[in-house]
Amino acid sequence: MAQVLSLKEIRSSTTLKGEIAKLEDERAQLQAQLERARQLEKKLQEDLLEQKKDFEHLEKQFEHFAGIEAEYEALQQEVQMERLEKLIDGDKKDNVLNGQLKKLRDDLKAATDELKELRQMDPERLKRQAADLKKKTQQQATDNQALNTALVKARKDLKDTTTDKEKFEGELKASRNGTDFFWQSVDGAWVLYECSIVLKDQQVDDPDKYKRIRCLHTLTGMSALSNGKDDNDKALWLGTLEIPDDVTVEAGKRLLSIAAELEDDGSDK
């Protein structure tokens, strides 16, 4: 006859206790695996968030460089158009001056031929006509000199325009590369450069030594040129770009340093 065990006897059974301990171990292992899975999920979420931030930063950098490239291409087209206009104006001036010079040479030849004929005529009349011819010759010489001076000036203006273009393109290329700035904000959004751009309506003592500050917002590609300093030695800016105060202070310090260097150069001379 089979023996019936009571519930108390079953619970106290060594076999059952072993099974319970085994289940407890499996439950602990499953909880540990669950905790590791949660930690892994948390880390993956953090990595995903970090990668999303990196991607957003790369997008901003791409927009920044695209803005700089667009600005460079627009300025390059403007410089090329100005140079073409200068060349066209120079050609027109050369054509006009050459035409006037040819006319004066023809007049001089005609006067010389007339003088040869007059030498065979009455002496008194010859004297009067010779005096008139001398005046014409002197006037023609003066006109020739004026024409030559105008030609030299036109060619010099064309050469200066070409030199300014090459200089401006060099500064634009350096600005695009972004390697020659002397100051950068902590977040990298603002950088300051030295440049020697002289505006068309601006008068400076020495264009070769003139320097100003160019402020570039790296996130938008927008920039502004300095226009002197205020009473607190902070830089003043051309245009409507809103520039932080700390950037303006750093630009003012650089302008003071530039002024001191120019003053030292002048005293050395």
pLDDT of residue 266: 65
pLDDT over threshold 70, residue 11: no
pLDDT of residue 126: 61
169 & 66 share domain: yes
Last residue of a domain, one of 178, 202, 230: 178
pLDDT of residue 1: 44
150 & 186 share domain: no
Q: What's the whole-number mean pLDDT along residues 47-71?
A: 79
205 & 173 share domain: no
Instruction: Tell me the residue range of the domain where 192 lies.
Output: 181-269
Q: What's the whole-number mean pLDDT along residues 36-65?
A: 83
Q: How many domains does the chain have?
A: 2
171 & 196 share domain: no
- List, for residues 181-196, the tens digit of each pLDDT value: 899 999 999 999 999 8
90 & 147 share domain: yes
CA-based torsion, 170, 172, 174, 177: positive or negative: negative
> Is 50 within a domain?
no
> Is 31 within a domain?
no
Tell me the two tokens of residue 212. 């100003």
- List, for residues 94-150, the tens digit of each pLDDT value: 787 788 888 878 887 887 777 776 666 656 666 776 678 778 878 887 887 887 787
> Is 30 within a domain?
no
pLDDT of residue 15: 75
Show contacts of 194-200: CB within 8 Å, 24+ apart: 194/254, 194/258, 195/171, 195/225, 196/167, 196/171, 197/168, 197/171, 197/225
pLDDT of residue 2: 47
162 & 185 share domain: no
> Is 130 within a domain?
yes
pLDDT of residue 182: 92
> Is 224 within a domain?
yes
267 & 245 share domain: yes
For residues 183 and 192, is the Cβ–Cβ distance under 8 A? yes
- Residue 175's Cβ-count burial label (10 Å; 0-12, 13-18, 19+) is buried
80 & 93 share domain: yes
As a whole number, the mean pLDDT across the chain is 79
> Is 5 within a domain?
no
Euclidean distance between CA atoms 214 and 141, whole angstroms: 50
pTM over 0.85: no
> Is 122 within a domain?
yes
> Is 250 within a domain?
yes
Q: Which of the two residues, 212 and 208, has the higher pLDDT score?
A: 212
Last residue of a domain, one of 178, 207, 235: 178
